C-alpha cells in the first residue's frame, strides 16, 4: 500500500499516476503548519521511470486540496525525487534487496533542508513464496536518517505482504505497516497498462492509486 | 598452309562463343538484374543517395534514409531488401554504409548466407548479430563507393517539418499547469554533402504563462557537417539562433576508439545579441560574446547510457561544469542533469526527448511537408539558469546517436525478426 518494497517495474517502464491521501493523513508541506495534519486531503501526482534495469527514479508533486498557489499564502505544491537502486535480484532462497533515497535532494545541497517533507533513506528486502497457485510476496525494511536529513515519511521498521490467488491473476490483496499506520487494500492490473489500488490507510481512511504504465 | 582451321571447326568455335556468351549473359546479366532490382526496391521505398559496388567477394551498398523516422527501421528495410533481391553466393560479405546529409555515418556488415538465415528464421537475431559487424569505421566503404553511380540524390529538396514546443510552469488545482504552446514550422534543405540551410519560425498558439505572444523567425542558418576519417565529426553553423544569439558556432566530436564508447567534444561560439523581429528585420547589438565548452562522454553500450561531463562558459556569462546522465531507449531519451557554476549556483533537473509524428514520412520530393521527429521537454528542479546554451538547429553531431552501432544493433531486432 504505502510501505516500499524491493520490487520494481521492468526496465524501460514509464509510469504516470496519482494517489489520493485522505484527510487526517495528509500533512501540510509548507509554512507555519508544515508537517501538521490540517484536515485537508492531498493528491500525489507522480512519474516513475525505470531508468536502468536496477535503477528506478520517481518525481512526485504533492498537492494539498483546498489550497491555491498565491503570493499571500506562499503555498506551492511539494516536489520530490526518489531514487531506488536494487542491489540484489531475488534468486533461489535469496531475497531481492533494494536501497531507496526519498526526498533527500537537500542532502546534496540541491534544495533547502526545511523544504523536505518526505525524506527517508531505507533498505528493504522482498521474497516471494508460492504454494498451490497462491503467491505471497513479503517485504521487510528499515528506514533512517541520511546525511543529516531526518527520516520523516518512514522511520524505523516497515513491511508488508501482497497475496496473489489462482482465481484472479491480475489482482492481489495488500497489507502493510508503513512505520506509522497499518494499511490494507486491493490491487488490480488491467490491460497490462493500468494499475488501480483501493484501500484504507490507518485501516479507516479511504485511499486510491491510479497509474498508467507504458513500456518504452 | 594449314592453320588447322576448317569451316567445320569455325562452326564449332561459333557454338562455343555462343555458349560462352549465353553463360556470361545469364550469370552477369542475372547479377546485374538482381542488383537493379535491389536498387529499384530501395528507390521505390524513397531511400536516397543509393550506391552499389560489387567486389569479388563483397557487395557494398550505400544509402540515406529520409523516409523513416527511426534509422534502425530504415536499416531493417534495407537488410530485408538485400536478402530478398540480391542473388549472390552465401559466402559473399554484404556491407551497408548509412549516410546522413550525404555524409557517411555508420556501417553494418554480414555474410549474405547469415542474412538469409535470419530472414528465413533459421538463425535467431542474437546468432545473426554476433556474426554481423556494426561499425563506426566508414572510410573504406566510402572510398569503394566513390566512383559508383548515385541513384535518387537527396540534395536540394526542401522539407517543411512542423513541430511543437512547450514552455510550462506547474501550478495548482485551479490552474494546474500554466503553459505556452508554440507551433514551429521549419523550412530546411540539404544543398550539398553536409551543407544545410534552414529557418524555423515560432508561433504562440496558447499562452497563459507570460505576456510574450509574438511570432517570429527564431532560427535562420547555414550549417556544414564534416566527417574526417572514421573518428572526427565537425559542424560549423552561422546565422540567427534561439535565445537571441546571432553569430557562429563550431562543434567538434572525436571518438577515441573504433566505437561510440568514448567521445571527446568541444564547442566554440562567437555571438552577438540579435534576432529577426516579427517583420523579419534583423536586430543586432554587437557584444562579441564568447561561449565555449569541452568535455568527455562515456557510453555504456549495454544500457545505451551516456555519462557526459563538460566544462566551459555558457549563455549567461556563467562558467562551470555540466554533468548529464542520459539513457537512450531507441528514439526515447531520458536524462538527468546537474549544472554548477564557479559561483556555486546550480541548475538541476531532468529532460525527455520522445519521438512524435509519423513513423514514416512522405517520400522525399521537391517540397515535402512533414512532422518534426521529436518533442523535447526539460524540467528544471532548481533552476538558476546556469549551464544553459542556445540551440542552433539540428546537425549530424546531434543526430549521431541514432547511427551509433549499438543503437542500430538494438533497434534493428524489432524490424528484422518476424513473429
A111 → closest Cβ in B170, B173, B382 = B382
The tens digit of pLDDT for each residue in A81-118 reads 999 999 999 999 999 999 999 998 888 888 787 888 99
Q: Is the pLDDT of residue B214 over 80?
A: no
Instruction: Tell me the pLDDT band of A127, cut-offs 50, 70 and 90.
Output: very high
User: Which residue of chain A comes nearest to B331, CA vs CA?
Assistant: A216
> In A, residues 83-142, which contact B (CB 8 Å cutoff)?
105, 109-111
A110 → closest Cβ in B170, B172, B382 = B382
Q: CB-hemisphere CA count at 13 Å for A64? A: 27
In B71-201, which ranges are continuous DSSP H helix?
A: 71-85, 112-120, 125-131, 139-145
Most B CBs within 10 Å, among A43, A51, A75, to test the B interface: A51
Chain B contacts of A105, Cβ < 8 Å? 348, 381
Chain A contacts of B324, Cβ < 8 Å? none
Asked whether the beta carbons of B354 and B329 are under 8 A apart, the reply is: no
Q: What is the pTM of this model?
A: 0.89
Please tell me the total count of domains within chain A: 1
Q: Is the pLDDT of residue B211 over 90?
A: no
**Is A88 part of any domain?**
yes
Instruction: Tell me the pLDDT band of A70, cut-offs 50, 70 and 90.
Output: confident
User: First-to-last CA distance in chain B?
Assistant: 74
Is B137 strand, coil or helix? coil
Interchain CB distance below 8 Å, A52 and B350: no
Q: Is the pLDDT of residue A143 over 90?
A: yes
Q: Is the pLDDT of residue B207 over 70?
A: yes
Q: Enumerate chain B positions whose Cβ falls within 8 A of a Cβ in A.
A: 170-175, 303, 305, 327, 329-330, 332, 334, 336, 338, 346, 348, 350, 379, 381-382
**Is A200 part of any domain?**
yes
Interchain CB distance below 8 Å, B346 and A67: no
Q: Among A122, A41, A48, which Cα is nearest to A80's? A: A48
Domain that holds residue A100: 13-215
Beta bridge partners of B165: B182
Instruction: Tell me the pLDDT band of B168, cut-offs 50, 70 and 90.
Output: confident
Question: Cα–Cα distances in Å, from A66 out to A42, B53, B217?
Answer: 9, 71, 43
Q: Is the pLDDT of residue A176 over 70?
A: yes
Q: What phi-psi label fits residue B239: left (phi over 0), alpha (psi between -120 and 50 degrees) or beta?
A: left
Is B125 strand, coil or helix? helix
- The mean per-residue pLDDT over the stretch B35-44 comes to 92
Question: Cα–Cα distances in Å, from A101 out to A56, A106, A143, A150, B21?
Answer: 11, 11, 10, 12, 78
In B95-249, which ranges are continuous DSSP H helix?
A: 112-120, 125-131, 139-145
Q: Where along chain B do its domains lie?
A: 10-153, 158-406
**Is A5 part of any domain?**
no
Residue-wise DSSP of A26-73: -B--SSTTTTSB-S--EEEEEEEEEEETTEEEEEEEEEETT----TTT
Averaged confidence pLDDT in chain A: 93
Rg for chain B, CA atoms, rounded: 26
Chain B contacts of A216, Cβ < 8 Å? 329-330, 332
Chain A nearest CA to B326, separation (Å): 9
Chain B contacts of A52, Cβ < 8 Å? 303, 305, 327
User: Which residue of chain A comes nearest to B177, CA vs CA?
Assistant: A69
Q: Is the pLDDT of residue A208 over 80?
A: yes
User: In this structure, what are the phi and psi dihedrals at residue B281, rounded to the nearest 5 degrees?
Assistant: -85, 140
Asked whether the beta carbons of A45 and A33 are under 8 A apart, the reply is: no
Q: Is the pLDDT of residue A187 over 80?
A: yes
Which residue is it, cell 549521431?
Answer: B400
User: In this structure, what are the phi and psi dihedrals at residue B258, rounded to the nearest 5 degrees?
Assistant: -80, 25
The tens digit of pLDDT for each residue in A36-62 reads 999 999 999 999 999 999 999 999 999
Q: How far apart are CA B115 and CA B87, in angstroms?
A: 12
**Is A2 part of any domain?**
no
- The mean per-residue pLDDT over the stretch A24-46 comes to 92
Is B337 strand, coil or helix? strand
Averaged confidence pLDDT in chain B: 89
- Using a pLDDT cut of 70, give the percent of chain B over it: 90
- Using a pLDDT cut of 90, give the percent of chain A over it: 77
Q: How many CB pairs under 8 A join A and B?
A: 44
Q: How far apart are CA B242 and CA B391, in angstroms?
A: 5
DSSP 8-state class, residue B386: T
The tens digit of pLDDT for each residue in B365-409 reads 999 999 999 999 999 887 778 999 999 999 999 999 999 999 999
User: In this structure, what are the phi and psi dihedrals at residue B354, rounded to the nearest 5 degrees?
Assistant: -125, 150
Most A CBs within 10 Å, among B305, B324, B328, B329, to test the A interface: B329
Q: How far apart are CA A19 and CA B408, in angstroms?
A: 39
Chain B nearest CA to A133, separation (Å): 30
Instruction: Tell me the pLDDT band of B3, cut-offs 50, 70 and 90.
Output: very low
Q: How far apart are CA B165 and CA B378, in angstroms?
A: 11
B45 Cβ contact list (under 8 Å, min separation 6): B67, B77, B81
Chain A contacts of B302, Cβ < 8 Å? none
Which residue is it, cell 511570432?
Answer: B215
Q: What phi-psi label fits residue A191: left (phi over 0), alpha (psi between -120 and 50 degrees) or beta?
A: left
Q: Among A139, A125, A122, which Cα is nearest to A97's? A: A125
Fold of domain B158-406: Porin (2.40.160)
pLDDT confidence of residue B173? 62
Q: What phi-psi label fits residue A71: left (phi over 0), alpha (psi between -120 and 50 degrees) or beta?
A: alpha
Chain A nearest CA to B125, separation (Å): 20
pLDDT confidence of residue B27? 46
Amino acid at each position: 500500500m504505502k510501505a516500499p518494497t524491493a520490487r520494481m517495474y521492468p526496465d524501460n517502464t514509464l509510469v504516470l499516476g496519482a494517489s489520493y491521501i485522505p484527510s487526517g493523513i495528509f500533512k501540510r508541506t509548507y509554512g507555519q503548519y508544515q508537517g501538521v495534519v490540517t484536515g485537508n486531503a492531498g493528491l500525489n501526482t507522480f512519474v516513475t521511470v525505470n531508468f536502468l534495469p536496477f535503477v528506478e527514479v520517481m518525481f512526485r508533486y504533492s498537492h494539498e486540496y483546498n489550497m491555491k498557489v498565491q503570493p499571500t499564502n506562499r503555498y506551492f505544491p511539494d516536489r520530490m525525487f526518489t531514487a531506488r537502486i536494487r542491489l540484489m535480484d531475488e534468486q533461489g532462497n535469496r531475497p531481492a534487496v533494494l536501497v531507496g533515497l526519498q526526498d533527500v535532494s537537500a542532502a546534496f545541497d540541491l534544495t533547502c533542508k526545511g523544504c523536505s517533507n518526505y525524506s527517508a533513506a531505507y533498505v528493504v528486502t522482498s521474497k516471494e513464496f508460492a504454494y498451490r497457485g497462491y503467491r505471497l510476496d513479503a517485504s521487510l525494511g528499515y528506514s533512517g536518517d541520511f546525511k543529516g536529513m531526518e527520516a520523516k515519511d518512514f522511520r524505523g521498521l516497515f513491511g508488508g505482504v501482497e497475496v496473489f490467488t489462482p482465481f484472479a491473476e491480475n489482482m492481489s490483496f495488500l497489507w502493510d505497516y508503513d512505520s506509522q499506520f497499518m494499511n490494507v487494500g486491493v490491487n488490480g492490473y488491467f490491460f497490462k497498462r493500468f494499475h488501480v489500488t483501493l484501500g484504507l490507510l490507518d485501516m479507516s481512511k479511504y485511499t486510491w492509486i491510479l497509474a498508467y504504465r507504458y513500456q518504452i | 598452309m594449314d592453320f588447322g582451321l576448317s569451316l567445320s571447326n569455325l562452326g564449332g568455335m561459333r557454338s562455343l562463343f555462343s555458349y560462352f556468351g549465353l553463360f556470361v549473359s545469364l550469370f552477369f546479366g542475372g547479377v546485374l538484374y538482381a542488383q537493379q532490382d535491389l536498387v529499384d526496391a530501395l528507390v521505390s521505398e524513397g531511400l536516397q543517395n543509393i550506391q552499389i559496388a560489387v567486389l569479388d567477394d563483397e557487395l557494398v551498398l550505400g544509402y540515406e534514409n529520409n523516409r523513416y523516422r527511426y534509422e534502425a527501421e530504415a536499416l531493417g528495410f534495407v537488410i530485408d531488401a538485400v536478402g530478398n533481391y540480391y542473388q549472390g553466393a552465401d559466402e559473399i560479405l554484404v556491407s551497408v554504409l548509412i549516410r546522413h546529409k550525404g555524409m557517411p555515418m555508420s556501417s553494418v556488415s554480414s555474410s549474405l548466407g547469415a542474412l538469409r538465415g535470419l530472414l528465413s528464421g533459421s538463425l535467431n537475431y542474437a546468432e545473426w548479430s554476433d556474426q554481423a559487424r556494426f561499425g563506426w569505421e566508414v572510410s573504406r566503404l566510402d572510398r569503394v563507393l566513390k566512383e559508383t553511380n548515385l541513384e535518387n540524390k537527396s540534395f536540394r529538396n526542401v522539407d517543411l517539418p512542423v513541430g511543437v514546443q512547450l514552455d510550462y510552469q506547474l501550478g495548482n488545482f485551479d490552474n494546474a499547469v500554466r503553459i505556452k504552446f508554440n507551433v514551429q514550422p521549419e523550412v530546411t534543405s540539404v544543398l550539398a554533402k553536409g551543407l544545410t540551410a534552414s529557418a524555423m519560425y515560432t508561433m504562440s498558439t496558447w499562452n497563459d504563462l507570460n505576456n510574450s505572444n509574438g511570432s517570429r523567425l527564431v532560427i535562420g542558418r547555414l550549417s556544414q557537417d564534416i566527417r574526417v576519417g572514421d573518428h572526427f565529426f565537425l559542424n560549423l553553423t552561422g546565422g540567427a539562433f534561439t535565445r537571441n544569439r546571432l553569430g557562429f558556432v563550431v562543434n567538434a566530436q572525436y571518438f577515441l576508439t573504433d566505437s561510440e564508447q568514448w567521445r571527446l567534444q568541444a564547442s566554440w561560439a562567437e555571438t552577438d545579441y540579435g534576432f529577426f523581429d516579427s517583420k523579419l528585420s534583423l536586430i543586432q547589438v554587437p557584444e562579441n560574446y564568447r561561449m565555449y565548452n569541452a568535455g568527455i562522454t562515456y557510453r555504456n553500450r549495454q544500457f545505451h547510457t551516456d555519462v557526459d561531463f563538460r566544462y566551459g562558459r555558457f549563455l549567461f556569462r556563467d562558467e562551470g561544469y555540466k554533468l548529464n546522465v542520459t539513457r537512450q531507449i531507441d528514439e526515447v531519451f531520458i536524462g538527468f542533469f546537474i549544472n554548477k557554476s564557479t559561483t556555486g549556483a546550480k541548475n538541476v533537473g531532468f529532460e525527455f526527448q520522445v519521438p512524435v509524428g509519423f513513423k514514416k514520412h512522405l517520400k522525399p520530393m521537391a517540397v515535402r511537408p512533414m512532422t518534426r521527429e521529436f518533442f523535447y521537454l526539460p524540467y528544471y528542479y532548481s533552476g538558476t539558469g546556469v549551464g544553459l546554451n542556445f540551440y542552433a538547429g539540428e546537425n549530424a553531431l546531434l543526430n549521431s546517436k541514432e547511427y551509433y552501432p549499438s543503437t542500430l544493433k538494438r533497434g534493428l531486432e524489432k524490424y528484422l525478426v518476424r513473429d
